[in-house]
């Protein structure tokens, strides 16, 4: 951003200085139209170069920001899918072993780095559900349903975290998620 402002200022200053120079050049070359045309060509070229440099700088800035957003999106979505796959594996086994708890601990650390506050709050709720259901290291059918309901709520928050924010869409999606959870 600062570079593009500098380039725009340079272009503006070049243009102003060029106008002042043009006034004196016109006065000095009033009998020579070819000299006047050369002055105009040089000033136009300099202004074009400065403006092009500003535009290219801004475009580069935007491209870098876009690449960063895409990379963060990829990392977040992969991490969220890793969490969902982990919960699926635990529910299918119907038991929680110490290795699963270590995996969950490290998933928690990873998620705490990237997730939005809403996801972190819902993830805390999921961890509490896992803690409650895994106290005896065996997961019953009712506890599987509790885990699924908690994961469904978390998936709703994850969806908001990964998508552009639209308040109407978020409210409608939340209603659908809540209805699906009630059906589980």
173 and 159 in contact (C-beta within 8 Å)? yes
Query: Does 45 reside within a domain?
Result: yes
pLDDT in tens, 9-31: 877 787 787 777 767 766 776 67
What does DSSP assign to residue 140?
-
pTM, two decimal places: 0.65
pLDDT mean over 36-45: 75
126 and 80 in contact (C-beta within 8 Å)? no
Query: Does 83 reside within a domain?
Result: no
Structural domain containing residue 33: 2-65
Model confidence at 183, in pLDDT bands (50, 70, 90)? low
Same domain, 31 and 100: no
Same domain, 104 and 163: yes
The residue with greater pLDDT, 18 or 127, is 127
Query: Does 84 reside within a domain?
Result: no
- 42-51 long-range contacts (CB < 8 A, ≥24 apart) are 43/14, 43/15, 43/18, 46/14, 46/18, 47/11, 47/14, 47/15, 47/18, 50/7, 50/8, 50/10, 50/11, 50/14, 51/7, 51/8, 51/11
* Number of independent structural domains in the chain: 2
């Amino acid at each position: 951003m600062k570079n593009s402002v500098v380039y725009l200022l340079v272009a503006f200053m070049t243009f102003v200085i060029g106008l002042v120079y043009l006034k004196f050049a016109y006065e000095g070359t009033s009998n020579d139209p070819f000299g006047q045309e050369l002055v105009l060509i040089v000033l136009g070229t300099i202004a074009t170069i400065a403006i092009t440099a500003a535009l290219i700088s801004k475009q580069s800035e935007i491209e870098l920001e876009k690449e960063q957003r895409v990379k963060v999106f990829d990392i977040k979505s992969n991490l969220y899918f890793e969490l969902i796959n982990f919960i699926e594996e635990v529910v299918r086994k119907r038991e929680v072993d110490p290795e699963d708890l270590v995996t969950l601990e490290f998933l928690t650390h990873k998620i705490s780095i990237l997730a939005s506050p809403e996801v972190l709050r819902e993830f805390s709720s999921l961890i509490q559900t896992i803690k409650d259901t895994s106290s005896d290291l065996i997961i019953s059918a009712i506890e599987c349903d509790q885990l699924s309901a908690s994961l469904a709520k978390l998936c709703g928050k994850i969806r908001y975290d990964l998508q552009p924010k639209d308040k109407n869409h978020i409210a409608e999606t939340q209603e659908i998620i809540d209805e699906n959870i009630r059906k589980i």
